[in-house]
Amino acid sequence: MTIDALIELLSEYREQYGPDAEVRLMTQENWPFENRIAGITSGSEMNEASEEDPTEYFDDQDVAEDAIVYIVEGGQICYGSKRAWETCRDC
């Protein structure tokens, strides 16, 4: 999914549910959980972090392509539903 596609889908949901709707991350289709979102990062930011402080990331290598954006899980809230995968809108 591209950033433009994600923004377009999120905009549609914002129009339907309002700007204060909570956004969660649904993980593990076979045993689903709803998780908070800690934040967003990129492959570039993760790769640069290992260059800035090699002692902290001594066993890491470049983790990804620079242009990949990650939504980072922030902790489990509750058990989820497999219906999320059946009903999700993808691009």
For the question of whether the overall pTM of this predicted structure is more than 0.85, the answer is no
Answer yes or no: is 70 within a domain.
yes
Cβ neighbours of residue 52 closer than 8 Å, sequence gap 6 or more: none
R_g of the chain computed on alpha carbons: 16
Dump pLDDT digits (tens) for 40-66.
999 888 888 766 666 665 555 667 688
Q: DSSP state, 1?
A: -
Average pLDDT on 72-80 reads 93
Answer yes or no: is 6 within a domain.
no
d(C-alpha 70, C-alpha 68), whole Å:
7
Answer yes or no: is 61 within a domain.
yes
Average pLDDT on 63-82 reads 89
Q: Do residues 27 and 85 make contact, with C-beta atoms less than 8 angstroms apart?
A: no
* Per-residue pLDDT, 35: 95
Answer yes or no: is 13 within a domain.
no
d(C-alpha 36, C-alpha 53), whole Å:
28
Structural domain count, the chain: 1
Answer yes or no: is 50 within a domain.
yes
Higher pLDDT among residues 89 and 34, named by residue: 34
Answer yes or no: is 91 within a domain.
no
Q: Domain containing 67: what range?
A: 22-85
Answer yes or no: is 28 within a domain.
yes
* Per-residue pLDDT, 59: 59
